[in-house]
Amino acid sequence: MGYPDPPPAVSRRFPDGPASVAAARRFVGAALDGAPTDLVGTAQLLVSELVTNAVLHARTEAEVSVARLDGRVRVRVGDRRPGRGLVPQRCSPYAGTGQGLALVEQLASRFGADAGDAGKTVWFELWHDGPPPPSAGWETAVPPRPAERPVTLVDVPTALESACRQHRHAVLRELTLAAFASDRLGVPAEDLVAANDVNNVISAGVTAMLDEPAPESGLRTLLVPLSADALPAVRALRRVLDLAEARAREELLLTLPALPRGRAFQDWLFDELTGQLTGARPTAWTVVPREPEVSSAELVPWDVGQVRASRMPTVAADEGNRIVAANGAAADLLGWGPDDLVGRRLTTLIPEHLRGRHTAAFSSMLLTGHTRIVGRSVPLPALHRNGSLVPVRLYIQTQETADGRTVFVAQLVPRATTFLGGPRTPGRIREAAVGEPDGGRSRALPESGARTSGAGGGMTALDRLTLLADLAAQLNNTLDLDEGLQRAGRLLTRRLADWCVVDLFTADAGVDRVCVVHRDPRALRPGAYEGTLSEVSEQSRGPLARVLRGAGPLLLTEAPRPGRAGSTLDRAYADLFRELGAGSAVVAPLRARREIFGALTLARASGGRPFTEEDLSLVDDLVHGLALGVDNARLYQDTRSIAERLQRSLLPVLPEVGGLRLAARYAASSTTAQVGGDWYDSFVLPGGNTALVIGDVTGHDLDAAIAMSQLRSMLRGIAVDREEPPAEVLRRLDLANHSLHREATGTCVYGLVKGPAEGPWELTHSSAGHLPPLLTTRDGRTRYLDGGGGLLLGMDPDAARGTARDALPAHSTLLLYTDGLIERRDEPLDDALHRLRRHAADLAREPLDTFCDELLIGLGADSTDDIAVLAVRPTPPSSERHGPPGG
């Protein structure tokens, strides 16, 4: 190393064991008695870390020596294992392990390492005054390693890899310390030794590769050098970690178990290590099929900018259940300011009757690593600041921060239900774009910078037709306008341009930049350029303003000059060109039904092949197809909005009835058109009986919603007019249904609850092909009320119908529901009904609101059908005063 002879020093050897760490710390304190306090404290901290490393990784006795000379302190820590090289982990400040060498780098004035035949030594110096000479670094003369067989890890997400590596080290550290206390937690001693050794080798290889500059995508291909005989050790490491995960889920470790995507990544990692060591070819992480809770969108590392820029209401929370980010859309939806939410507990947004369940589920997830709702679309209510309930579909994904922590990112999609006092714009969850813009289904065409022969724009006639057909497919394959534009933008940037920008007129004549797409999705900061622009004023003379007035397509061979911009809109467009680095562009109007409603801008970066006059005819054809798709999507959204408003207006306010508690929920499908024929109703008849109705008209469109509204109105009128038995009411409803111009086909249950406020209560009901009501007693016994069955509505109005009578015990829960709550594709109906009974029994004593919400959370997640639920609980006034559980 070239270092002069060390000054006289005192030294001591310490055995291999955790107790040596504290003993070494005391030894250094005694050896430095009288030295400046700050030097003594720093020396004790650093020697603790280095002796800990020797105990965990070298597993030999450690020798500590301390020397004082001319105002400086020199400490050396040696072990007897020269072949185990030093591995600076580069872990984040939040990691629980891997900080020893990093602390030495940060706190020591000088540091280095020496190696010889008998061992290796790490040393550091602390200088009280004056600048120290430069450090030697961590390079050590390690003996030659055995023959290597590199393992190639393709498309590794760096944030996820870092989190999993930290988790491995934490688990192995705890197991090793437990082993010193004669508690191996079921881990064989030889496996633990092999696991620690090979884990250090893997970490050393990964850390060395991560020192290279990171690509923008956050994905790396890593080469991990392993010895040819490393396979048994790798398998031992996997066995140890699997066993540790089981112990962690049993709460026998302080280290928490890994969350689902951490487990998925670790499984992939060991599959690659063992597979390639036995001759298999590499398989990229990005192409491995995974469960919904380990979806492709998690490849995007956590970025607070993604939350703030998203148009979807989005909230993010950390592992401490505190909100770390919220965007304006979420704040507006829930009545807060975005900054007011940050730092609050997530329970601020959860209704009081669900807070206990949320806290228990969140704690269970951290303690067991199992989650109920991550990666799924779940209907539930959120809490508005004013105390009202806002029904949403919740979609949660986990992401890793750059320092390895986990963040839970939740999108809240508003849904129509009785909780809403006013209309909300419907929406769908769109996952981040990763990889092929069209899923790799379309055949490849030349990139925009390449030149080919043929028709305008450098394309052959076949290429041109293929692009037009694929563009139409991208818009036609989704009914959501934002998603369709994103798909179209990704296609155009892959085939024709580097950037794609879509601007649309708003209802008040302003301009909204609704879509900005770059060829590499990871190179674009989400939402950086999207948002509302100013209107097209008299002073607007720039290219965008001209196109929005009907000119074009326009060819721009250079960026608009800011000095010529005469309005805010013109300046914004010139700034966009500058920020995109555009060298040329084509701007074309979007026109449908003789009206201009927006503009498309396709731009190519400076240095590539510019757009030319030959490209104008192709872009003109493209905007015709794009405009037609956008217009169709807008018409669909208008129709859907009308149907939702109609459906929302028909969801009734439940009556207040003495001795009865009622609750209802409605949730649109998570995947279909958001409107359908499910409905419920409840009202008090003139004679005092309480009517209960639930039904489902065939279809998921405006026609189904209209038919549902007609049946609902006719049923209420028939029921109130004569107060006849349920079977007769359904018979008259079916007759009236056949008188309609377009009769509906559907199912329905009509029931009457009879009895005074103090009870007893009786249900009489009749069913037109509907699923049977479920009765759950307070002690958790369940049974289906399957009497009174009959044909569907719309089949045979003359068919005989029956009425069933059943007693309703006090504090029991009567549940009426539609098939979307239980039915699943490829599952027998009996299994679905049995699952509902189990959930209802578990919730028998819960408050009625909790009962309904938990059913939707547990059974309604990812439902492909609408869901309507109506629950009734007989509750005598006397028990209300005493507050019985489960009221």
Q: For 659-683, what is each residue's pLDDT tens digit?
A: 999 999 988 765 554 566 788 999 9
The topology under which CATH files domain 651-882 is Phosphatase 2c; domain 1 (3.60.40)
DSSP string, 732-753: HHHHHHHTSSS---EEEEEEEE
Q: Residues near 139 by Cβ (< 8 Å), separated by ≥ 6?
A: 113
Asked whether residue 502 carries a pLDDT value surpassing 50, the answer given is yes
Range of weakest confidence among 238-252, 544-558, 630-644, 793-807: 630-644
Asked whether residue 435 carries a pLDDT value surpassing 70, the answer given is no
Local structure of residue 129 (DSSP, 8 states):
S
Residue with the larger pLDDT of the pair 529 and 321: 321
- The C-alpha atoms of residue 326 and residue 274 are separated, in whole angstroms, by 42
- Mean local confidence (pLDDT), 861-880: 84
pLDDT for res 532: 75
- Mean local confidence (pLDDT), 433-450: 34
Asked whether residue 281 carries a pLDDT value surpassing 80, the answer given is yes
Q: How far is CA 770 from the centre of its chain?
A: 36
Q: Which of 772, 754, 775 is nearest to 763 (CA)?
A: 754
pLDDT for res 777: 95
Range of weakest confidence among 408-412, 437-441, 606-610, 637-641: 437-441
Give all strands of the β-sheet with 660-667 in edge-to-edge order. 660-667, 867-874, 813-817, 774-776, 782-784
Highest mean pLDDT among 26-30, 123-127, 365-369, 449-453: 26-30
On the question of a cis peptide bond just before residue 188, with omega within 30 degrees of 0, the verdict is no
Q: Which of 804, 351, 875 is nearest to 662 (CA)?
A: 875
- Mean local confidence (pLDDT), 495-518: 84
The superfamily in CATH containing domain 299-414 is PAS domain (3.30.450.20)
Which of the four pLDDT bands, split at 50, 70 and 90, describes residue 449?
very low
The domains of the chain are located at 9-127, 151-291, 299-414, 456-640, 651-882
DSSP H helical ranges for 763-876 = 829-842, 848-859
Burial of 827 (0-12, 13-18, 19+ CB in 10 A): exposed
- The C-alpha atoms of residue 605 and residue 515 are separated, in whole angstroms, by 18
pLDDT for res 836: 95
How does the average pLDDT of the chain come out, rounded? Answer: 79
pLDDT for res 64: 93
The pTM (predicted TM-score) of the whole model is 0.64
Q: Which of 355, 481, 352, 371 is nearest to 427 (CA)?
A: 481
Amino acid making up residue 414: P
Local structure of residue 354 (DSSP, 8 states):
H
Q: Which two tokens stand for residue 882?
A: 């005493």
Asked whether residue 561 carries a pLDDT value surpassing 50, the answer given is yes
pLDDT for res 218: 57
Tens digit of each residue's pLDDT (9 = 90 or more) over 687-716: 999 999 999 888 766 677 778 888 888 999
Which of the four pLDDT bands, split at 50, 70 and 90, describes residue 442?
very low
- Mean local confidence (pLDDT), 506-517: 81
Which of the four pLDDT bands, split at 50, 70 and 90, describes residue 369?
confident
Tens digit of each residue's pLDDT (9 = 90 or more) over 288-329: 776 666 654 444 556 777 677 666 788 999 888 899 889 888
Tens digit of each residue's pLDDT (9 = 90 or more) over 801-853: 999 999 999 999 999 999 989 988 778 899 999 999 999 999 999 999 999 99
The topology under which CATH files domain 9-127 is Heat Shock Protein 90 (3.30.565)
Show the CA angle centred on residue 412, arms to residues 411 and 416, nearest 5°.
Answer: 150
- The residue to which tokens 């806002």 are assigned: 390
- The C-alpha atoms of residue 743 and residue 751 are separated, in whole angstroms, by 23
Local structure of residue 186 (DSSP, 8 states):
T
- The C-alpha atoms of residue 321 and residue 704 are separated, in whole angstroms, by 42
Rounded (10°) angle between helices 461-476 and 481-495: 160
- The C-alpha atoms of residue 687 and residue 846 are separated, in whole angstroms, by 31
Q: Which of 90, 26, 13, 91 is nearest to 54 (CA)?
A: 13
Q: Residues near 614 by Cβ (< 8 Å), separated by ≥ 6?
A: 456, 457, 458
- The C-alpha atoms of residue 572 and residue 535 are separated, in whole angstroms, by 11
Which of the four pLDDT bands, split at 50, 70 and 90, describes residue 180?
confident
Beta carbons of 871 and 852 less than 8 angstroms apart: yes
Asked whether residue 73 carries a pLDDT value surpassing 70, the answer given is yes
Beta carbons of 626 and 618 less than 8 angstroms apart: no
Three-state SS annotation for 358-379: HHHHHHHHHHHCCCCCECCEEE
Domain 299-414 and domain 456-640, same fold? Reply is yes
Yes or no: is domain 456-640 CATH 3.40.50.300? no
Burial of 299 (0-12, 13-18, 19+ CB in 10 A): buried
pLDDT for res 236: 92
824 phi and psi angles, rounded to 5 deg: -130, 145
Element (H, E) at 808: strand 804-808
30 phi and psi angles, rounded to 5 deg: -70, -40
Residue with the larger pLDDT of the pair 31 and 642: 31
Beta carbons of 340 and 323 less than 8 angstroms apart: no
Tens digit of each residue's pLDDT (9 = 90 or more) over 80-123: 887 766 766 655 555 555 567 778 888 888 888 888 777 888 88
